[in-house]
Amino acid sequence: MSVKIVAFCCNWCSYAGADLAGTSRLNYPAQVKIIRVPCSCRVDVQFILRAFVRGADGVIVCGCHLGDCHYSTGNYHAEGRLTQLFSLLDFMGFERERVHLEWISAAEGAKFAATMDAFVTQVSALGKNERYRNMYTKAGAQNE
Amino acid sequence: MQSPVYTCSLDNVTQLINRIAEKMPVYGDFGSSKTTLSPKGFFLPALEKLYETAKINDSYKITPAPPENAPFVLLGIRACDAAAIEILDGVYLNDPIDPQYKARRHASYIVTFACETMGANCFCQSVNINPAAPKGDVKAWVKNGTFFWLAQSEKGERLTELLLDLLERTIPAGNDLLPVEPPDSAPALPLPADMLSAFNAPVWDNLHRACIACGTCTFLCPTCQCYDISSHECTENSEKTHCTRQWDACLYPGFTQMAHGNPRPSKKERFRQRFMHKLVYHMQKYGTSACVGCGRCVNKCPVNMNIVKVAHVLAQEEVNAYV
Amino acid sequence: MCNPNLGLIPFPARIIHITENTADTKTFRVVGEDEKKPFAHMPGQCAMLSLPGVGEAMFSISSASTNEEFYEFSIKRVGKLTSELHTLQVDSPITLRGAYGRPFPVNDVLIGQDLLFIAGGIGLAPLRSVIRYVFDNRDKYGAVDIVYGARSSADLVFLEEIQNEWTARPNTRVHLTIDREEEGWSGNVGFVPTYIKQLSFNPSKIALICGPPVMIKYSLATLIEMGFEKTQVYTTLEMRMKCGIGKCGRCNIGHKYACIDGPVFRCDEIDELPEEY
Amino acid sequence: MNEQEKMRTRAKELHAAGIIKQVLAWEAGAFPSYPAPAFFTKPNAFEKIVYNEFCTANLSKYVINITEKTLIFLRPCDAHSFAQLVKENQVKRENTYVIAVGCEGCVQVDEGEARDLLESCRTCTKTDYPLFDEEINTQNNPRESTNKAARFAEVTRLDSEENTARYAFWQAHFSQCIRCNACRNICPTCHCKECVMDSDHPLDGQFYHAIRALHQDGRCTDCGQCSRVCPRGIPVHLLNRKLIYTSNK
């Protein structure tokens, strides 16, 4: 069963990188669904968690290299916020390998394709995402 | 004809439970005190699906969720919870009857257990419930080392037939075999007689300020009946949507929020509604107050607000009448 | 209750006709499966209209109960569900359940009485079902006066129906008013309560009021001044409703639930209830 | 523990001097071990101010957007929450008169009996008061640095375990959650006007705890109220402690 990947790509660098990968005929797995965001720091923790709730098996956030950010400090915020999210997800017992943060500039089409390949194989190794889907608050399990 | 009282020794009570468990699932036990969550969740679950809709050639096909009528047994229900189930029956089992609730309720066997002592924050005696004489399909109690079992309903008799070889019949010799009633420790809960004077009482202005409107008391309360209905897409395929029913609390701001405004705009009105419904409105509509004195809200309220204090302050009595 | 199996499970239904009353109000004609009406209803009752995946809301049925082919709902675009409903086209599917609420007492108290309908804005929708019921059984009732006001002439719903059909009805007087002066408007200008005082009806009539709460309050005060008893005045109270069958504990005013003991209340009943609507 | 007398007298003196209009403290509940937070406006009611080891509720969240000048008694954990609220200008400092009051730790109460010290008091590392106008008996705050290790003991223990073991640990706890929102409404730094979790979409509730913890990241003052109030005993504070632990590293 092919895994579903959601990639949040920042408009200025990674999205352009993905574009470049396309124009230079580099292919990367089709299961990757790209969502364009103005900056990597626009990715709220809820976007990632909701993506998992709605059936994603892996989420990767791509942004500009530190220092290249069009909004100058966007990727620093993103890095701070997402490292905390990833460590909390690991602490709660979710597979840390299903989430990833990568800096890809507009010129690195090859790196974009390679990163997506590596990430898809990594997530496929883990298989379908069951844990994120079952962490239900059963809201009222019967009395003990 | 009053069905006979059966007994068995304490140590083969677990045998009784296992025998029942072979026939149907058993929840709860004859434990030391009442459970944290009330048995309400067995009849009105915190989250349940009402129906599913699928869009087929431009019209909605609606499939209601099948009613759950697999039989199950609730063990060790106390007098307060048994009375609470009756209060919920009054709401959900009279016209128009709620099919989901009715299916679960008819499939349930309630085995109650008499309390020998009053819990720290129990006050069922203040709402004239006798902790030693709980209702329910079967009443069980322990007295000087023996376990007693008395069927109180036709369902109770059916349950007793499963266990006849494990139980011995006793000659019903007066009430020295009956469970002893714990001494009455607290005065009766004063219920405001007149609705309008209670509603307009000035005490609400200061009384509500400590409350953080979190809803814990309503979710733990065995008689809180309010629910919310919401409809949303399935995650698997968005053509299908399901409509769910989940617990709701009058304390939440969105409870009565309408497009053109909210009749209960601030926490004070919502706090007042919670206690007015419990102590006054339910009394006027069904003849009994909806509080069974189980003390769960007293025990688990994050800021130690509780219904006994509100009732006393509402009746203009000094709060620490018996602190 | 006209519908015995009253529950929370809706019937599939379809919109067969949409008329654009005003900029933000549309009237939807709805029928159940195989073009029939899934449940009967009485004037003043409402039904839960829902769009799966969006939500559900209670709307008063503005078509007459004697109308066999369809229901009509006049819906103003105010919130999430209503905006979604306003995007629907003819033939789009919805779901429907009902009929809920205590109707206007058309078969007992109103028989043989002179009737005074007072409506404000979208408040005409619930009263329209009663008015059309009265017109269909015209001989059973006395004189009919209709006072209807809105913010502007563009906000008067069913305007052509009022002007062409209602005014032509026997022994029926229609009094329209708008809040502010407008060129090209020949009718009265002013708020409904003040307009009632100018018209000064004799207090033997039965009055039915429906509209925004502030209009209800002042119209009721004016009627009392004119000698009306509170037992002669009926109104509807609007509360948030989710179940419609008096269980979900949301629409209560005091110990009465608006969805089963109302939404139609007699004004003296309202005085026994706390000031909560 | 005679802070109670001093608090009552100071409240009367400050009110008489017209410095304050009302007092926010605890008052006796209808049951002995359940004092509740309360606003005292009339001087004769100041006699009812209570201060003992059962006063577990954190008072700082009550003064958000307060308009009248209010005297508030703060213990070290409350004081840190209060400072955070002042920093986020949820509270106008000039509308409050703060008295720092000594604390020997509060007791968890269940079914009327006092159990052991609150978890947050056992691992409390705060002996200082970020801001106050006066002090009462603050010299006898017993805690020293020994609790530093105890504070993150549970977090490091869980970290050392297998990922699947942690998942089982949290799934067992979260499956008991009845979404009563007590942990959100008691948390001093959780004060959005409209919470994103109030959408009536049950599926959002799945990550309620994770999203709530992340919203307090860098702002949580580790006062432990969230776990204290949970009716199902879920150790929600561990999520926030983990975030503090990783950001300290």
Q: 3-state SS string over C177-207?
A: EECCCCCCCCCEECCHHHHHHHHCCCCCCEE
The one-letter code for the residue type at B113 is F
Interface test with C, best of B48, B49, B58, B59 (most C CBs within 10 A): B59
Separation of alpha carbons D180 and B211, rounded Å: 14
Does the pLDDT at position B201 exceed 50?
Answer: yes
Decide: C and B in contact? Rule: 3+ Cβ pairs under 8 Å. yes
Q: 3-state SS string over chain B?
A: CCCCEEEEEHHHHHHHHHHHHHHCCEECCCCCCCCCCCCHHHHCCCEEEEEEEEEECCEEEEEECCCCCCCEEEEEECHHHHHHHHHHHHHHCCCCCCHHHHHHHHCEEEEEECCCCCCCCCCHHHHCCCCCCCCCCEEEEEECCEEEEEECCHHHHHHHHHCCCCCEECCCCHHHHCCCCCCCCCCCCCCCCCHHHHHCCCCHHHHHHHCCCCCHHHHHCCCCCCEEEEEEECCCCCCEEEEEEEECCCCCHHHHCECCECCCCCHHHHHHHHHHHHHHHHHHHHCCCCCCCCCHHHHHCCCCCCHHHHHHHHCCCCHHHCC
β-partners of residue C256 are C253
Does the pLDDT at position B193 exceed 90?
Answer: no
Residue range C50-102, pLDDT digits in tens: 999 888 999 999 998 888 889 999 998 988 899 999 999 999 999 999 889 99
R_g over Cα of chain D? 19
> Is residue D117 domain-shared with residue D169, that is, in the same domain?
no
Does the pLDDT at position C4 exceed 60?
Answer: no
Does the pLDDT at position A61 exceed 90?
Answer: yes
Q: How far is CA D15 from the centre of its chain?
A: 26
Q: Is the dihedral of CA C271, C272, C276, C277 positive or negative?
A: negative
What's the pLDDT band for A142 if we cut at 50, 70, 90?
very low
Burial of B231 from C-beta contacts in 10 A (0-12 / 13-18 / 19+): buried
How high is the pLDDT of residue B236? 65
Domain range for D203: 152-248
Using the 8-state DSSP alphabet, how is residue D27 labeled? Answer: E
Q: What pTM value is reported for the model?
A: 0.90
Work out whether strand D22-27 and strand D49-50 pair parallel, antiparallel, or are unpaired.
antiparallel
How high is the pLDDT of residue C5? 55
What's the pLDDT band for D217 if we cut at 50, 70, 90?
very high
| C28: phi then psi, degrees, rounded to nearest 5 | -105, 130
Residue range D107-130, pLDDT digits in tens: 888 777 777 888 888 888 887 888
Separation of alpha carbons B84 and B94, rounded Å: 16
Q: Are A97 and A122 in contact (CB under 8 A)?
A: yes
> Is residue D138 domain-shared with residue D39, that is, in the same domain?
yes
> Is residue D139 domain-shared with residue D28, that is, in the same domain?
yes
How high is the pLDDT of residue B316? 73
Give A138's contacts in chain B (Cβ within 8 Å): 46-47
Residue range D25-34, pLDDT digits in tens: 998 876 777 8
Residue range D13-24, pLDDT digits in tens: 999 999 999 999
Nearest chain C residue to B231 by CA distance is: C53
Q: CB-hemisphere CA count at 13 Å for A16? A: 14
β-partners of residue B246 are B47, B228
Nearest chain B residue to A133 by CA distance is: B235
Per-residue pLDDT, averaged over C236-258, amounts to 89
Q: How far is CA A139 from CA A18, D11, D38, in A?
A: 42, 44, 31
Residue range B230-283, pLDDT digits in tens: 888 776 677 788 888 888 999 998 899 888 788 899 999 999 999 999 988 998
How high is the pLDDT of residue C1? 41
How high is the pLDDT of residue D155? 92
| C95: phi then psi, degrees, rounded to nearest 5 | -125, 155
Q: Are C104 and C208 in contact (CB under 8 A)?
A: yes
Residue range B91-102, pLDDT digits in tens: 999 878 888 999
Please report where in the chains the tokens 């990430």 appear, as a residue: A119
- Helix, strand, or coil (residue D4): helix
Among D37, D39, D202, select the one facing B246 at the smallest CB separation.
D202
Residue range B282-297, pLDDT digits in tens: 988 888 889 999 999 9
Percent of chain B whose pLDDT exceeds 70? 94
Mean pLDDT taken over chain B: 86
Does the pLDDT at position A144 exceed 80?
Answer: no
Residues 64-93 of A with CB under 8 A from D: 81, 83-85, 87-93
Separation of alpha carbons C45 and C99, rounded Å: 6
> Is residue D53 domain-shared with residue D118, that is, in the same domain?
yes
> Is residue D198 domain-shared with residue D111, that is, in the same domain?
no
> Is residue D36 domain-shared with residue D141, that is, in the same domain?
yes
How high is the pLDDT of residue D203? 55
> Is residue D173 domain-shared with residue D190, that is, in the same domain?
yes
Domain range for A132: 5-143
Q: For chain B, which chains pass the contact test of at least 3 CB pairs under 8 Å?
A: A, C, D
Q: Are B14 and B60 in contact (CB under 8 A)?
A: no
Separation of alpha carbons C5 and C21, rounded Å: 34
Residue range D160-194, pLDDT digits in tens: 999 999 999 998 898 888 888 899 999 999 999 88
Among D163, D246, D247, select the one facing A93 at the smallest CB separation.
D163
For residue A10, what is the domain's CATH number? 3.40.50
Q: How far is CA D214 from the centre of its chain?
A: 18
Number of structural domains found in chain A = 1
Separation of alpha carbons C76 and C85, rounded Å: 10
> Is residue D24 domain-shared with residue D143, that is, in the same domain?
yes
Better pLDDT: B2 or C108? C108
A46: number of Cβ within 10 Å: 17
> Is residue D104 domain-shared with residue D23, that is, in the same domain?
yes
> Is residue D16 domain-shared with residue D99, that is, in the same domain?
yes
Work out whether strand D107-110 and strand D113-117 pair parallel, antiparallel, or are unpaired.
antiparallel
Percent of chain C whose pLDDT exceeds 70? 97
> Is residue D111 domain-shared with residue D228, that is, in the same domain?
no
Residue range B7-66, pLDDT digits in tens: 888 888 888 889 899 989 999 888 777 888 899 999 999 888 899 899 888 888 999 988
Separation of alpha carbons B51 and B73, rounded Å: 26
Q: How far is CA A106 from CA A21, A65, A110, A111, A129, in A?
A: 10, 10, 10, 10, 31
Number of structural domains found in chain D = 2
Residue range A76-126, pLDDT digits in tens: 999 999 999 999 999 999 999 999 999 999 999 999 999 999 999 999 999
The one-letter code for the residue type at B181 is E
> Is residue D173 domain-shared with residue D205, that is, in the same domain?
yes
Hey, is the C-beta of D37 within 8 angstroms of any chain B C-beta? yes
Among B209, B309, B319, select the one facing D39 at the smallest CB separation.
B209
What's the pLDDT band for B323 if we cut at 50, 70, 90?
very low
